Amino acid sequence: MDAVTYPDDLVARFINANLIPLRVKSDSMPLSKDFNITWTPTLITLDQDGKEHYRTVGFLAPTELIPSLLLGISKVYFETAKFDTSLEALERLISEYPKSKAAPEAVFLRGVAGYKSTHDGKHLKAAYEKLQAEYPGTEWADRAQPYRLLK
């Protein structure tokens, strides 16, 4: 990723504006053991307390790294019950990177975050419908199948 992804101007600007990057060698103890890093690159999104919320392993092109990082950011907020902030990151990912590999999961999570913040099943049903229309056959479309039954 050093040769292609990290030097990309959009990637560098995104990371500098949204994250506190920390680079650790894959064999650096105790962090590599504490975070179970067995391959490089491993990108881990942590919250302010050092709790892991998302991880990717292996090379990501610049066009996939930013959506992956947005998904990680959204999961930090989702898993700490800051649903409005999670939804902002998910909306950005879905609108700016709809063809990314992270987009189907973002659609699914947007439905769940919408439901968790309002307790209205329409968000889950909307996620199911969008996944069926735009991302059929994906793992996330399959996971949303039960939401088709909601009124």
Tell me: the pLDDT tens digits for 96-151? Answer: 999 999 999 999 999 999 999 999 999 999 999 999 999 999 999 999 999 999 98
Q: In terms of CATH, what superfamily is 9-149?
A: Tetratricopeptide repeat domain (1.25.40.10)
Instruction: Note if the pTM is more than 0.85.
Output: yes
The DSSP code sequence of the chain is: -TTTTTT-HHHHHHHHHH-------TT-TTHHHHTT--SSSEEEEE-TTS-EEEEEES---HHHHHHHHHHHHHHHHHHTT-HHHHHHHHHHHHHH-TTSTTHHHHHHHHHHHHHHHH--THHHHHHHHHHHHHSTTSHHHHHTGGGGG--
pLDDT greater than 70 at residue 1: no
User: What number is the average pLDDT over the span 42-55?
Assistant: 95
So where are the chain's domains?
A: 9-149
Mean residue pLDDT across the chain: 94
